[in-house]
Amino acid sequence: MPIYEYKCEDCGHHFDALRTMRAADDAIACKACGSERTQRTLSVFFAHSEGRSVVHAGNSGCGNCRGRNCAGCNH
């Protein structure tokens, strides 16, 4: 079950809730003031790779080499 982020329109409080995808946009009470004037917000994340490839699909290699793993090309 995914975690969604919400913002209260009355008090401005931001909070998370574990909900089904079906209930993601249903009314939910603010954890700070109890108001149901809340809105789901976009989740933001940051990933830092230091210039290296961060995508790896199982045993198919990293795309920079032809091997079954990245040990041969040090990626």
What span, in angstroms and rounded, lies between the C-alpha atoms of 69 and 64? Answer: 10
Q: What is the pLDDT of residue 59?
A: 47
Whether this model's pTM surpasses 0.85: no
CA distances from 45 to 6, 11, 33, 38, 42 (A): 15, 24, 27, 22, 10
Q: What share of the chain is helix, strand, coil (3-state, %, to 5)?
A: 0, 20, 80
Sequential pLDDT tens for the chain (75 residues)? 899 999 999 999 999 999 999 999 999 999 999 999 999 999 877 777 777 655 544 444 455 555 555 555 555
**pLDDT at residue 24, as a whole number:** 95
Sequence letter at residue 57: A
